Amino acid sequence: MMLSRVADSLYWMSRYLERAEHTARMIDVHLNLMLDQPADATDLRWRRVLSTLGQVSEGTEAEAYRAVQAMAFDTANRSSIVSCIIGARENARQVRELISSDMWEQLNRLFHEVKRSGIEDVWESQPLEFLQAIKQGIYLFQGITNSTLAHGEGWQFIRAGRYVERAYATAILLDVHFKEFAPGIEKPLASEHLEWVGLLRSCTAFAAYCHVYTADLRPDRIVEFLLLNEEFPHSICFAVNSLQDALESIADITTIRRGARVSKLAGRLRATLSFGQIDEIMAGGLHAYLGDVMHQCDQIHASIHHVYISYAVEAALA
């Protein structure tokens, strides 16, 4: 059985990198949206982005420069891109002997990339290039991990960390966006069209959505795609399915009997999504439904920590 500290480090390494990639993607999308919308919509949009990432803007304004500084470079913010990559590297360092050399080298390159960058330099030159480098660096790390690390218990903890983070982040994103625009099932207003495009692009989903529904942007179809689609990697359903698969594999590999309880929690959430119908979800209240998804993600995270990381010795021996 894998040591609890190893499982914890691999799990959090993966969560931090997923969070950094998600944040970089959000900033990238909304910087691009600034080019197509009037300046008076900027502060409102950045306040929404900060709320989506679990952060609160100071004062009444959240203009782009300050928002990007807080989300990308502020080391006092534990969810900023820099803080997440530092946290991922530190967790990887603690299990250096158990990950591949290629994984360590790629994460180290990413670490030095963000450490030598600052808001002043990036903002005055090419902020979009910096964000693209972060996203591509994390994609590369994930590909290297899948190609060079044995697909055993450690790899499954990496998958679990990635997908619990992805499911939770996407649920928050949907909740914040839909609460602000309070949509029905009709087509959005022309003034809101770019906001719905931005939501899809924030999940790398615009092209995939158009392949399923064409370019007909309807709020109910957007939430159905990002919530219930089983094939798209950034949908909540896909993330939860992958999370349960990882937890079932861990339970099969380990000798901890209580591991089955963790996978059952994920299985319950998976069933909730698999049998969900978009008309019933919207009629019953999307905010409450997404709140329940986030609550169940919190339960799964707490159960992973309790069963595999902070368990008592007596429980392991039993």
pLDDT for 150 beyond 80: yes
Encode pLDDT of 38-54 as tens digits: 656 666 778 888 888 87
Q: Which of 165, 46, 24, 157 is nearest to 91 (CA)?
A: 157
pLDDT for 274 beyond 80: yes
The contacts of residue 44 (CB under 8 Å, 6+ apart) are: none
Encode pLDDT of 201-226 as tens digits: 999 999 999 999 988 899 999 999 99
Region 283-292: mean pLDDT is 95
Region 250-256: mean pLDDT is 82
Predicted TM-score (pTM) of the model is 0.91
| % of the chain exceeding 90 in pLDDT | 67
> So what's the pLDDT on residue 185?
46
* Dihedral sign for Cα atoms in the order 81, 58, 294, 1: positive
Give the number of C-alpha atoms closer than 13 A to the C-alpha of residue 16, restricted to the C-beta side. 24
Structural contact between residues 264 and 298, judged by C-beta atoms closer than 8 angstroms: no
Structural contact between residues 134 and 24, judged by C-beta atoms closer than 8 angstroms: yes
The contacts of residue 201 (CB under 8 Å, 6+ apart) are: 29
Confidence tier at 194 by pLDDT (50, 70, 90): confident
pLDDT for 313 beyond 60: no
Structural contact between residues 49 and 67, judged by C-beta atoms closer than 8 angstroms: yes
Region 58-77: mean pLDDT is 80
Structural contact between residues 247 and 263, judged by C-beta atoms closer than 8 angstroms: yes
Q: How far apart are CA 17 and CA 58, in angstroms?
A: 26
165 C-beta neighbours (distance < 10 Å), count: 24
> So what's the pLDDT on residue 47?
84
Region 225-243: mean pLDDT is 97
Residue that wins the pLDDT comparison between 10 and 252 = 10
